[in-house]
């Protein structure tokens, strides 16, 4: 699946997007955050406060208990500040 | 006739007067047009800023704003709706966002415009970064924006 990152999540991880294949036990958005946070210091910094992180699957907002099965694109970003 | 919303996500500026005029041009069923313009301030929490840079999520920004436009069209009897949101670097005094609603009567136009702005603030995937003498920093989301959006949720 493709992952995309925005704003300070993107800056801390150091990339705008990537393709990942998480292990089968990673089933939800929250578990994916936990798995990513264990990869290196940049990811750990980006996801240090998991409850602040917002996520979208295939361009729609989701909660962290959402299943990731079948997702083509998952995005992680801070709370939005547009408008 | 079903009303189609005009939604544009763009880097370029827009002409507020032209967008307002377009919603009532050549028709006599529109009795009220409400517009909201969001404009870049020259200071943020008392500190002068040089500019804002808006990052957005292409694809999702259009999808999310379309969902809210559809909801507004379902909840209020609108005869026209235009939403424009800019991205990129925006200097103080420049436009950031525009919502224009047209209806037969003012109440629907006012309410739909306010609903859309409250939802754009908290749900449209845009992020503002400010530039000032101290460098650049991401603007933090505000709790009162979440509260403003929550009051439109149907109980």
Q: What band does B140 get if pLDDT is binned at 50, 70 and 90?
A: very high
* Mean pLDDT across chain A: 97
Backbone φ, ψ for residue B138 (5° rounding): -75, 135
Residue B105's pLDDT is 95
**pLDDT tens per residue, range B29-77:** 999 999 999 999 999 888 899 999 999 999 999 999 999 999 999 999 9
Please state, in angstroms and rounded to a whole number, the distance separating the CA atoms of residues A39 and A41.
7
Question: How many Cβ contacts (< 8 angstroms) between chains A and B?
Answer: 72
Question: In angstroms, what separates the C-alpha of B110 from chain A's closest C-alpha?
Answer: 17
**pLDDT tens per residue, range B101-138:** 999 999 999 999 999 999 999 999 999 999 999 899 99
Helices (H), chain A: 7-13, 29-37, 41-46
Residue B145's pLDDT is 84
Q: Which residues of A15-40 are buried (b: 16+ CB within 10 A; e: fewer)?
A: eeeeeeeeeeebebbbbbbebbbeee
Pick among 3.90.1170.40, 3.10.20.440, 2.70.70.10, 2.30.110.10: CATH of B6-150: 3.90.1170.40
Domain chopping of chain B, boundaries: 6-150
Give the mean pLDDT of A61-82.
Answer: 97
- Is B121 in contact with A7 (Cβ distance < 8 A)? no
Q: Which residues between 9 and 68 in chain A have a beta carbon less than 8 angstroms from any beta carbon of chain B?
A: 56, 59-61
Question: In angstroms, what separates the C-alpha of A69 from chain B's closest C-alpha?
Answer: 19
Q: What band does B1 get if pLDDT is binned at 50, 70 and 90?
A: low
ipTM attached to this prediction: 0.96
Q: What band does B80 get if pLDDT is binned at 50, 70 and 90?
A: very high
Residue B142's pLDDT is 86
Give the mean pLDDT of B15-38.
Answer: 96
């Amino acid at each position: 699946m493709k992952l995309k990152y925005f704003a300070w999540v993107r800056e801390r991880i150091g990339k705008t997007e990537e393709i990942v294949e998480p292990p089968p036990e990673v089933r939800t958005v929250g578990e994916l955050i936990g798995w990513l946070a264990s990869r290196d210091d940049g990811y750990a910094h980006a996801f240090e406060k998991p409850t602040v992180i917002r996520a979208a699957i295939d361009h729609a907002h989701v909660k962290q208990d959402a299943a990731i099965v079948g997702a083509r694109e998952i995005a992680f970003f801070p709370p939005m500040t547009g408008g | 006739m079903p009303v189609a919303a005009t939604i544009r996500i763009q880097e370029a500026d827009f002409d507020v007067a032209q967008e307002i005029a377009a919603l009532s041009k050549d028709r006599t069923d529109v009795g009220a047009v409400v517009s909201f313009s969001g404009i870049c301030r020259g200071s943020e929490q008392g500190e002068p800023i040089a500019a804002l840079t808006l990052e957005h999520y292409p694809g999702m920004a259009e999808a999310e704003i379309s969902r809210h436009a559809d909801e507004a069209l379902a909840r209020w009897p609108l005869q026209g709706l235009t939403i424009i949101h800019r991205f990129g670097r925006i200097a103080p005094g420049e436009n950031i966002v525009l919502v224009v609603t047209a209806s037969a009567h003012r109440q629907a136009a006012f309410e739909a415009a306010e609903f859309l702005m409250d939802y754009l603030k908290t749900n449209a995937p845009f992020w503002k970064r400010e530039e000032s003498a101290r460098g650049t920093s991401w603007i933090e989301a505000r709790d009162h924006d979440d509260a403003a959006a929550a009051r439109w949720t149907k109980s």
